[in-house]
Amino acid sequence: MFKAIFAIAVALSPASTCAFAPSISGGRAATSTSIQMGILDDITNAFQPAAGSGAKKEGQIAVVAGASGYIGKSTVRESVRQGYKTIALVRDKSKVESDEGKMLYGTFFEGAEVVECDVCDADKLTETLKDISTEAPGGKIDAIISCLASRSGIKKDAYAIDYQATLNCLESGRAVNARHFVLLSAFCVKNPWLQFQQAKLKFEAALEAQSDMTYSIVRPTAFFKSVSGQLEVVQQGAPFVMFGDGTVTSCNPISEADLATYLIDSITDKSRLNKIINLGGPDEPLTMKKQGEMLFEAVGKEPNFFYAPLWLFDAIIDSLQWVADTFNSEKFENAAETGRIGKYYAVEDMLTTDPDEKFGTMTLQEHYNKIAVEGQEYDPYTTMFAKAPTKVAEEEKEKVAA
């Protein structure tokens, strides 16, 4: 029983803005948002003027690292929409351009050039950016936008991706005289007691220390994906799991589309030059209980809550850490860190209250209403309840849209 509750607690805590959602054996991870923006949003975006974009950015090149990630793919689409010649860096091109990839990613990469490059290979990355630079007026990339983030958050992954791979992007950008670096960081680094937070801060320090490129560091509070993980279980009649009395923490998450707009706008917005910016969505503070009430309203069911005790985190984390220390076990050390990640988001606010640190138009209730009808996007790393899209499902969606 405790194992099941802990698994839910870790997986359904308001996860970080880093594009990972931790899970442990026997549990489930926070599920992703609905099929991103959907067909109606694609049509709307096609005709909507880009905020702060002005005229088409003739010849200006924007390179998006982590392009196939949750925020990365929305950033690619927004970059194209704002008129940049957009280069989407992906580890495996076939995962995007295969039939399965096209079903997963839909229209996110339309208008962008998908380039295969492992950002963990510093030399290869520099060669790739040099090739890209030759296509730019004056041989200079206008911006590199890093949406890189470790999937697990454990120490090894965090320092490989959140620090080293992101540093590779910066150093390669400096080597080719790229102009501006936009970093997707995380609000949670303000109070860092997790490994991935330390890794992110280490890179932020490196970015601030150099002077070859200007930069904008954006720290979002939480993604809609991270507060949508209980949709399917609630639809099936299960209670909404909360921690403590459901009012321990508050957040104002931001939609992936709004965040992508902010990231791309940061390329040219001089008020964000060489700044660290905390960023939340337009909602007022939302407790976990309020989120549950909104979700039940969206699915048309009466509220039904389960209150998970916060002490459960400490009991299991301490046990896992004892085994890790006693037997020098990396496996149990990683499990303990995963537990600490879950606890962090159960006890820490992910909230901005300054009007200057709130952005966007889409509210969490609108998002819940949307995914209650459309379902959530399939993500092989974070979802066990939403299903992978199939050709039949895509054809049915197209019929509905028509």
pLDDT bin (cut points 50, 70, 90) of residue 136 is: confident
Q: What is the pLDDT of residue 106?
A: 84
Smallest CA-to-CA distance from 372 within 69, 100, 73, 31 is with 31
Instruction: Determine contact, residues 339/320, Cβ cutoff 8 Å.
Output: yes
**In the chain, what are the domain boundaries?**
2-288+348-385
C-beta atoms surrounding 349 within 10 Å: 19
| Run of H or E including 275 | strand 275-279
Global pTM reads: 0.85
pLDDT at residue 339 tops 50: yes
Hunting for tokens 């989120």 — which residue is that?
A: 291
pLDDT bin (cut points 50, 70, 90) of residue 59 is: confident
Instruction: Determine contact, residues 253/270, Cβ cutoff 8 Å.
Output: no
pLDDT at residue 44 tops 90: no
Which H, E and C letters describe 338-387, residue by residue?
HHHHHHHHHHCCECCCCHHHECCCCCHHHHHHHHHHHCCCCCCCCCCCCC
Residues with Cβ within 8 Å of 37's Cβ and at least 6 positions away in sequence, in order, are: 45, 74, 256, 257
pLDDT bin (cut points 50, 70, 90) of residue 135 is: confident
pLDDT 10s digits, 164-182: 999 999 999 999 999 999 9
Give the CA radius of gyration of the chain.
21
Q: What is the pLDDT of residue 379?
A: 55
Q: What percent of the chain has pLDDT over 70?
A: 80
Cα 251 to Cα 355: distance, rounded to the nearest angstrom: 14
pLDDT 10s digits, 2-29: 444 445 544 444 444 433 333 322 232 3
pLDDT bin (cut points 50, 70, 90) of residue 195 is: very high
Q: What is the mean pLDDT of residues 215-227?
A: 96
Q: What is the pLDDT of residue 56?
A: 64
Q: Which amino acid is at 236?
A: Q
Q: What is the pLDDT of residue 100?
A: 87
Q: What is the pLDDT of residue 127?
A: 98
pLDDT at residue 383 tops 80: no
Q: What is the pLDDT of residue 368?
A: 98
- 2-288+348-385 belongs to which homologous superfamily? NAD(P)-binding Rossmann-like Domain (3.40.50.720)
Output 103 or 124, whichever has higher pLDDT.
124
pLDDT bin (cut points 50, 70, 90) of residue 376 is: confident
